[in-house]
Structure 1
């Protein structure tokens, strides 16, 4: 059962859900006097865009059934959390402090972070800025956050966008995307989910000319339900983004230069926290946004790489939705290793 909670942190109201671990089975008679224990620990699930806590709704009961306590926040700007208007409010320090505040409110000292998309960046930033609060980190799809080069990412995106459509530049322009997408929430969400999946090659959107809108660049999507997404799940996404609009979530893109500059402070450091990585072979982020052969570079960013695994089923960026059972199995394998070998 999910418990929806709120926390006021430095003027930002944060929403998150908590799932308590399933009761442990009764000990065998020979172990009747053995202590019950507190379970393997707490997992914090960090989502990306265009998501909110609900993207984990299939995973949360699986983790709870395995004995883990689960916390799934809405990152600031998305879902039920406040959306500050200043891009500086989305800097790594601010967002990491949100994670720490939620953990403090739940008396969770050393947690396992699972990060996907923007949430992976939050997880890695937490490892750099608050390593003592993180027991281990599991990255999904996005293996590291690079600050390579001397050109801020939005400046570089603007240069690329003179040659072809690029969503980073489109989203970075204040007021443009939210105006285009207002009233088209379901169409956008459906098209972008389909485009990011293994059913389409996402980088083909780059074939569209400069000045295209995202809806013009995205492919038509077949009617729902799909084998990996139900009508009811899309109804939930549509309702939430119709309620909130896109202005808050898009601050994460508009703050990319802010985050890039902040990360320059620790670009020569490596993440000291035990690191696990899970990916899908058709992920467009790995193909187009992390340089050549990103998996060979993990040691440049992470001190203690424990496990790197690909799911076996075909999946694009939305691996936890497209190949749910495989993703859950691999995540549980990582968590079992953490429970056995990483002190809590």
Structure 2
């Protein structure tokens, strides 16, 4: 059995929690919402067994990492600075960075701004889009939603979504995970929220827990969020307009290092990002592979752990 160890490091003037396994070239994995280092539980031991130093971090606002108190403390520029600080603290040469969900934009933007620190970058679920556009993201989402609220706009008001989720953390997480997973056939579209309603109104629940999300796994996530709360995780969404402003100077800029993309056939961000994926010949000129996993939903490295691991190892081995 591969041992997973835990420590905290100082990064960008805050505390970041790391879960680590193995020795060798470092692979830094960054989770999304509502996740934690634990989302990489199927990758940590496999990468370690194959000769890599596998590291999964808790993003600021999550788990044992610091939880700043201001919404603007969760803007993308600071997330990238956190990653840079983690790479410095690990001090193991160039790193390959991998991100899922919100972790994917963190990984993409880290590679964009600091290509000198990374051997390669892999994004799961959320394609690299090279930014830009003349309309603020929240305005664009409002136009997409029509008479409803897009879930990102639903999360904008501080306290509203927190109250909804924290009334029953375990049930909310289960509904959100199941609703965005590939097991749900023709389920409700949980990306759209009834104006004045709650996201959880559309949740459906499994009759039997899937193999990729056991009761034990759900208990781990529940404990993590009952400890950390949801202000920090939700505040990532509350910075999309700030990020649009902060990164305006980099709009259209390609990522210059080797890259990998893994999406899910049933995954919302992958489907919405079809035009970005089609433009990879310009935005990811050193793309190793872009693969859409049949039947997979949003939780790619958990739902399709075996294939995700195969693709990551193929990519990592190509960087040697």
TM-score (norm 1): 0.86
Unaligned runs of 5+ in 2: none
* 1:101 to partner: Cα distance: 1.1
Q: Look up the match of 1:30.
A: none
Partner SS state of residue 257, structure 2 = coil
Q: Look up the match of 1:311.
A: 293
Q: Look up the match of 1:49.
A: 33
Q: Look up the match of 1:299.
A: 281
Query: What is the root-mean-square deviation of aligned Cα atoms in Å?
Result: 1.9
1:1-344 map, 5 Å: 1-21=3-23, 39=24, 41-161=25-145, 163-200=147-184, 201=186, 204-205=189-190, 209-218=194-203, 220-288=204-272, 290=273, 292-312=274-294, 314-339=295-320
Which whole-Å deviations, capped at 9, do the CAs of 1:261-297 have from their partners, x for residues lacking one? Answer: 1121111321111111122212111223x2x543211
Contact 2:154–2:193 (CA<8 Å) still a contact in 1? no
Take 2:192 and 2:81, find their aligned partners in 1: how far apart are those partners? 39
**Is the radius of gyration larger for structure 1 or structure 2?**
1
Contact 2:26–2:54 (CA<8 Å) still a contact in 1? yes
Take 2:160 and 2:317, find their aligned partners in 1: how far apart are those partners? 45
Take 1:158 and 1:207, find their aligned partners in 2: how far apart are those partners? 10
Q: Look up the match of 1:34.
A: none
* 1:319 to partner: Cα distance: 1.5
* 1:114 to partner: Cα distance: 0.8
Take 2:26 and 2:244, find their aligned partners in 1: how far apart are those partners? 29
Give the number of equivalent residue pairs. Answer: 317
Q: Which has the higher contact order (CA 8 A, sep 6+)?
A: 2
Which whole-Å deviations, capped at 9, do the CAs of 1:108-161 have from their partners, x for residues lacking one? Answer: 231101111111111111111111001001111211145332221123334445
Q: Look up the match of 1:24.
A: none
Task: Flag the 1:137–1:231 CA change in 2: closer, same or farther, 3 A.
Answer: same
Partner SS state of residue 205, structure 1 = coil
Partner SS state of residue 300, structure 1 = helix
Unaligned runs of 5+ in 1: 22-38, 340-344
Which whole-Å deviations, capped at 9, do the CAs of 1:152-208 have from their partners, x for residues lacking one? Answer: 112333444551232111111111000111131111110111111112256723565
Partner SS state of residue 189, structure 2 = helix
Task: Flag the 1:154–1:208 CA change in 2: closer, same or farther, 3 A.
Answer: closer
Task: Flag the 1:166–1:207 CA change in 2: closer, same or farther, 3 A.
Answer: closer
Moved more, 5-14 or 136-145: 5-14
Contact 2:12–2:82 (CA<8 Å) still a contact in 1? no
Take 1:8 and 1:207, find their aligned partners in 2: how far apart are those partners? 38
TM-score (norm 2): 0.93
Task: Flag the 1:187–1:146 CA change in 2: closer, same or farther, 3 A.
Answer: farther
Q: Look up the match of 1:28.
A: none
Which whole-Å deviations, capped at 9, do the CAs of 1:229-262 have from their partners, x for residues lacking one? Answer: 1110001011111111111100100011111111
Contact 2:149–2:192 (CA<8 Å) still a contact in 1? yes
